[in-house]
């Protein structure tokens, strides 16, 4: 049993880190896409949603092209910070975060768009600056959609296989997340290990879905 919990624990760690990364990068992008008009907006929104439709192995391959040790971005990261993503669990974080990103971005953008901009104007007329408007009006009104998007992104990151496999590889104890471990277990005929891991990962994903379903209805209520 002890050996079974390792990949599950790694999956949770990777998915949590990926979700935090998605939130940090995705929140401002979702807000900008919802509130501003600029040239190339449609193209930008399309590119950001691309991981949703690309095969995960293609997403992983593109990430390798950019972050491999001999690729320019990867080489720079290694020189400047000593960070090597390939065959490291941080590579799994990057891969699953990119794969999960659109699942946060789309509902988050919708949540921001659903906030009546006239309410934000009313707040400004009452003496609030931009940051205060965001913190006191926009975020509290959009939070349900944002939380739902985060839960979806978490569930997607939790289950990523293809992109993680391409970037981080399948190193037991190091980068072997639950999805990869299930695949390996089936390959070697260890069906009880595959079943236990599947049950574990499915329970966590189902909990995330339950959270989404509890959160989504009645948008705009109090936190």
Partner 1 sequence: MSPSVGGALDARVVRRVHPGLTVDVSLKLGAEIGVLFGRSGAGKSTLLRLLAGLDRPDAGRVELAGEVLFDLRSGRDVPLRRRRVGMIFQDDLLFPHLDVRGNVGFGLRAESRRDRERRVAEVASAFGIEHLIDRRVETLSGGERQRVGLARALAPRPRLLLCDEPVSALDLGGRRTLLDRLRDVPRVEGVPVLYVTHSPAEAITLGTRLFLMEAGRIAAEGPPAEVLAGSVRAEFSHLEGVRNVFSGRVAEHEAGGEWTRLALDDGPSLVVAPVAAPIGSRVAVEVDGDDVLLALGPIAGLSARNQVEGTVEAIAVHGREAEVLVRVGGLRWLVSTLGSTPAELGLAPGRSVRLIVKARSVRVEASPA
- By CB under 8 A, is residue 68 in contact with partner 1? no
Sign of CA dihedral 130, 131, 134, 135: negative
146 binds partner 1 (CB under 8 A): no
* Residues in contact with 103: Cβ distance below 8 Å, sequence separation at least 6, in sequence order: 52, 149, 152, 153, 156
x/- map, 126-145, partner 1, by CB under 8 A:
xxxx--x---xx--xx----
Residue 107: strand, helix, or coil: helix
Say whether residue 65 binds partner 1 (CB under 8 A). no
Which residues, 6 or more positions from 107, have their beta carbon under 8 angstroms from its beta carbon? 145, 146, 148, 149, 152
Q: Which residue has the tokens 């109090």?
A: 222
**From the list 6, 68, 169, 220, which residue makes contact with partner 1 (rule: CB under 8 A)?**
220
Sign of CA dihedral 73, 78, 83, 85: positive
**Cβ nearer to partner 1, comparing 55 with 221:** 221
Site string for partner 1, 86-125 (x = CB under 8 A): ------------------------------x-xx-xxxxx
> Could you tell me how many residues of this chain bind partner 1 (CB under 8 A)?
21
Residue 55 CA to residue 193 CA, distance in Å, equals: 27
When asked if residue 35 is in the footprint of partner 1 (CB under 8 A), the reply is no
171 binds partner 1 (CB under 8 A): no
Q: How far is the CB of 139 from partner 1 (least distance, A)?
A: 10
Q: Which two tokens stand for residue 81?
A: 């910070």
Nearer to partner 1, 46 or 221 (CB): 221
Residues that bind partner 1 (CB under 8 A): 116, 118-119, 121-129, 132, 136-137, 140-141, 220-223
């Amino acid at each position: 049993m002890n050996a079974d919990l390792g990949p599950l624990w790694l999956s949770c760690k990777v998915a949590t880190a990926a979700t935090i990364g998605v939130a940090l990068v995705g929140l401002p992008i979702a807000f900008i896409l919802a509130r501003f008009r600029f040239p190339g907006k449609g193209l930008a929104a399309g590119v950001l949603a691309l991981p949703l439709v690309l095969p995960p192995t293609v997403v992983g391959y593109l990430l390798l092209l950019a972050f491999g040790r001999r690729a320019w971005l990867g080489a720079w990261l290694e020189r400047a910070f000593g960070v090597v993503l390939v065959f490291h669990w941080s590579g799994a974080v990057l891969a699953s975060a990119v794969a999960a990103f659109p699942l946060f971005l789309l509902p988050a953008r919708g949540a921001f768009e659903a906030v009546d901009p006239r309410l934000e104007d009313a707040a400004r007329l009452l003496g609030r600056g931009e940051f205060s408007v965001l913190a006191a009006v926009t975020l509290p009104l959009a939070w349900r959609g944002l939380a739902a998007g985060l839960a979806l992104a978490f569930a997607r990151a939790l289950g990523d296989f293809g992109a993680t496999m391409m970037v981080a590889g399948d190193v037991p104890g190091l980068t072997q997340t639950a999805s990869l471990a299930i695949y390996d277990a089936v390959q070697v005929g260890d069906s009880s290990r595959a079943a236990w891991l599947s049950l574990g990962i499915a329970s966590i994903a189902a909990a995330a879905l339950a959270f989404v379903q509890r959160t989504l209805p009645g948008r705009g209520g109090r936190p």
